[in-house]
Amino acid sequence: FLGGKTAVVTGSNSGIGLGIATELARAGADLVLNSFTDRDEDHALAESLAAKHGVKVRYIQADMSKGGECRALIEKAGSCDILVNNAGIQHVAPIPEFPAEKWDAIIAINLSSAFHTTAVALPMMRKSGWGRVINVASAHGLTASPFKSAYVAAKHGIVGFTKVTALETARESITCNAICPGYVLTPIIEQQIPDQMKTHNMSREDVIAKVMLQRQPSGEFATVDQIGGTAVFLCSAAANQVTGTTISVDGGWTAL
Ligand code: NAD
Q: Give how many domains the chain has, as a whole number.
A: 2
Biggest CA-to-CA distance, the chain:
55
Domain identity same for 11 and 122: yes
Domain extent, residue 190, equals 185-221
In a domain, 1, yes or no: no
In a domain, 253, yes or no: no
Give the burial class of 98: count Cβ atoms within 10 A of its Cβ; 0-12 exposed, 13-18 middle, 19 or more buried: middle
> What is the domain-level CATH number for residue 57?
3.40.50.720
Query: Residue 52: helix, strand or coil by DSSP?
Result: helix
Phi, psi values for residue 40, rounded to 5°: -55, -40
Residue 156 has a pLDDT of 99
Domain identity same for 91 and 214: no
In a domain, 255, yes or no: no
Domain identity same for 210 and 95: no
Domain identity same for 236 and 171: yes
Domain identity same for 39 and 155: yes
> Do residues 38 and 151 make contact, with C-beta atoms less than 8 angstroms apart?
no
Q: How much is the ipTM here?
A: 0.99
Phi, psi values for residue 186, rounded to 5°: -125, 175
Domain identity same for 64 and 109: yes
Nearest CA to ligand 1 atom 44: 138
* Atom of ligand 1 lying closest to residue 65 CA: 18
Residue 179 has a pLDDT of 99
Active site members: 151
* Atom of ligand 1 lying closest to residue 137 CA: 44
Domain identity same for 69 and 172: yes
Domain identity same for 123 and 206: no
* Tens-digit pLDDT string for the chain (256 aa): 999 999 999 999 999 999 999 999 999 999 999 999 999 999 999 999 999 999 999 999 999 999 999 999 999 999 999 999 999 999 999 999 999 999 999 999 999 999 999 999 999 999 999 999 999 999 999 999 999 999 999 999 999 999 999 999 999 999 999 999 999 999 989 988 998 899 899 999 999 999 899 999 999 999 999 999 999 999 999 999 999 999 999 999 999 9
Residue 192 has a pLDDT of 86
In a domain, 91, yes or no: yes
In a domain, 52, yes or no: yes
In a domain, 87, yes or no: yes
Nearest CA to ligand 1 atom 41: 184
In a domain, 238, yes or no: yes
Q: For residue 171, report the distance from its CA to the centre of ligand 1, in Å.
A: 31
54 contacts: CB under 8 Å, gap ≥ 6: none
Residue 89 has a pLDDT of 96
Domain identity same for 208 and 121: no
